[in-house]
Amino acid sequence: MKFDRENLKAIIENRRTIYPEQFSGKKVSQEDIKLILDSARFAPTHKSTQPWRFKVFSGKGLEALANFQSEKYKEITAEEEFNSGKYDKMKSRPLRSSAMIAVCMTRDVKESVPEIEEIIATSAALENMFLTGTSMGIAMSFLTGGMTGTKEMKQFLNLREKDIHLGFFYLGYIDTDWPKVKKRKPIDEFTEWSE
């Protein structure tokens, strides 16, 4: 087998967090969303628990999500802790997106691997999706703010007790230039070799 490493390197290095505020309003087709989801299936998974679960919101689904998370936040937050900026983002970001995908880990009922391994597998699936979207010119961000991981959001997403809502993917397009590659530390700063 022969793969194009240079092409993969370019996709990896150009994957960028692009926020819903930057989206143009152009819609991502369901066919393209399915291609993104399909790439999740090939992530590594110990004992093949394949713990990733996705809930896709578009159209009226986004309106329902925007209303739910903003109003629930208001309802459960003490007045002195209420942050109107946070509330506004929870209301506006879904409506600025073409689609949102709730990224969830569903715990293997037999608990045949430790929980952390199912979170790792779902995180790997998440990166596959991010890279596939990037290769297609789709602008994406994976964000954990707002109501992520709360028991209220878990209920909204119909998750079970031991499942975890990890965050949301926001999908859209931009009509401005693709953001520049962000600086990262060189490998020497985070690698030790024992030879």
Query: Is residue 67 a contact point for ligand FMN (CB under 6 A)?
Result: no
Q: Read off the DSSP letter of residue 97.
A: S
The residue among 31 and 177 lying less far from ligand FMN, judged by its C-beta, is 177
Among candidate residues 67, 83, 54, the one with its CA nearest the CA of residue 167: 54
Q: Read off the DSSP letter of residue 104.
A: E
Strands in 58-110 per DSSP E: 99-105
Phi then psi dihedrals of residue 75, to 5 deg: -65, -40
Among candidate residues 159, 171, 158, the one with its CA nearest the CA of residue 36: 171
Query: Is residue 137 a contact point for ligand FMN (CB under 6 A)?
Result: no
Query: Is residue 143 a contact point for ligand FMN (CB under 6 A)?
Result: yes
Q: Give the residue ranges of DSSP H helices in 41-138.
A: 60-76, 84-96, 115-135
Tokens of 49: 């628990």
Query: Is residue 92 a contact point for ligand FMN (CB under 6 A)?
Result: no
The residue among 16 and 27 lying less far from ligand FMN, judged by its C-beta, is 16
Query: Closest CB to ligand FMN belongs to which residue?
Result: 17
Binding residues for FMN: 15-17, 46
The residue among 13 and 111 lying less far from ligand FMN, judged by its C-beta, is 13
Query: Is residue 124 a contact point for ligand FMN (CB under 6 A)?
Result: no
By CB under 6 A, what part of segment 7-26 binds ligand FMN? 16-17
Residues near ligand FMN (CB under 6 A) are 16-17, 142-145, 167, 182
